[in-house]
Amino acid sequence: MAHRRQPRLLSAFRRWAFAAAVALGLPGCRGLDRLLSVEPQDRVPASSVENSPVNAQLLVNGAIADFECAFGAYVLIGGVIGEELEETRQIIDRKPYDQRVHTSKDRTAVVNRCESAGVYTPLQTARVSAERVLELLEKWSDGEVPQRAALIATMQAYAGYATLLLGEGYCSTVISSPGANGEIVFGGEISRDSAFKLADARFAAAMAASPQAGASNVRDLALVGRARARIDLGDFAGARNDASGVPPAFRFEMSASASSLRRHNRVWSQERVSDVTSIGVPYRSLGDPRVPVQDMRRTGPLGVPVFWQNKYPTAASPIRIASGDEARLIIAESDIAAGTATSLENAKSIIDAFRARGSQPPLASADPATLREALIDQRRRELFLESQHLGDVIRFGVSLRPLPGTAYPGGGVYGTQKCLFLPDVERQNNPMLGG
């Protein structure tokens, strides 16, 4: 079942978002003043919205919009670090990510807005927005808010995905949350596994609310999300159990639109409007319909050959967040980990079905090493530019290409850094971290 959210951007929680943004690195009051100085006409001040249950759906839509923009930026930056994309121009503050030499001091993917390739603050803002909506929904009654259970399930799922991405992309993270009076309750530094466990709990809460609401699409979104969090944790049995409950045809997408830069498909925008990215070397000649690329027969200013992806041909092309296809690949991975003759044959059957999509022949063997290599390959093809590959690179220990030590087009050599460090600006502005 295909599902696409079509939220209208609302600024429902700027009070909390501003507080979170300051905590995550905007420089003191000057940064806050800069944010507060202009309030676009299509946004509703929080004070006129937050206390009215009549506006519950609008608040949910605003939180979804925050997540969708952050998600698009994560797909972009994860692709740049994780070999799916390559920079064609010398942009100094983006070079460390493409070159894989980024440190905790690099700020572009931290404090920038999501439409400008910011990831950390946008993801944290999306998470806090969803959590604040949840706080309000739990305060209101079913009589005040139609479909309240469905909205609660939806916000739990989106908060779960924001937390999951922070866990997958970052070496460590912080989970600060809105307090009862709207202030930020700061969290300490936590490991990736701790973030996955928090995401797991969010997805469980979404599933607990969704049957009551009849929100099957949200239930399936949460099932895939929890299966993904559990596979990240090495809980193969739990991941398989969740993934097995997802309908094969399930598909849940973030929406995109040509209406504004914030709503653009970020991969498309960076490629065809900004002319900043090309498809990474490992993806240029796969000949797989799931990885449609086009050789533009020119080079960028860095001498990088320009290849465009055709998976997202317009500004309004949606990006898949979760699907039955991902669930089946999780089942295959879990079966490889189980290592029995029956489970290995089942994993081979699943992988062969995906290989057929790419006009690849069936595997000749069902031994674990062959299956593992084939699984990684099918995941990078099937889930191309969908937020998955950077996490896979870290989890599977994938050797990135170009290899470390290879000359980088912008000077120097490619490095080895994969996960993003907890930003210095978080340490400097979070009293729990002693910055």
What's the pLDDT at 114?
96
| Domain enclosing residue 82, as ranges | 2-89+98-433
Determine the average pLDDT of the residues in 113-125: 96
Per-residue pLDDT band for 47 (boundaries 50, 70, 90) equals low
Determine the average pLDDT of the residues in 210-222: 83
The total domain count for the chain is 1
What percent of the chain clears pLDDT 70, i.e. is strictly above it?
Answer: 87
Q: Is the pLDDT of residue 33 over 90?
A: no
Q: Residues for the chain: how many in total?
A: 435
* Residues sharing a CB contact under 8 Å with residue 354, sequence separation 6 or more, in sequence order: 325, 328, 329, 378, 381, 382
Q: Is the pLDDT of residue 26 over 80?
A: no
317: phi then psi, degrees, rounded to nearest 5: -70, 125
DSSP string, 375-422: HHHHHHHHTTTTT-HHHHHHHHTPPPSSPTTSBPTTSSB-----SBPP
Tokens describing residue 137: 């929904």
The one-character DSSP state at 170 is B
Determine the average pLDDT of the residues in 197-202: 98
Tokens describing residue 226: 């929890």
Helix (H, G, I), strand (E, B) or coil at 323: strand
Q: Strand 2-4 to strand 251-254: parallel, antiparallel, or no bridges (unpaired)? A: parallel
The CATH number covering residue 212 comes to 1.25.40.390
What percent of the chain clears pLDDT 90, i.e. is strictly above it?
Answer: 84
Per-residue pLDDT band for 434 (boundaries 50, 70, 90) equals confident
* Residues sharing a CB contact under 8 Å with residue 187, sequence separation 6 or more, in sequence order: 174, 175, 176, 177, 430, 432
The CA–CA distances, whole Å, from 250 to 148, 236, 321 equal: 23, 21, 11
What's the pLDDT at 216?
84
More confident residue, 36 or 127: 127
For 45-54, 206-215, 314-323, 378-387, which range has the lowest pLDDT when averaged over its residues? 45-54
Mean pLDDT of the residues in the chain: 90
More confident residue, 25 or 276: 276
The CA–CA distances, whole Å, from 279 to 54, 97, 290, 413 equal: 46, 15, 14, 19
The tens digit of pLDDT for each residue in 121-138 reads: 999 999 999 999 999 999
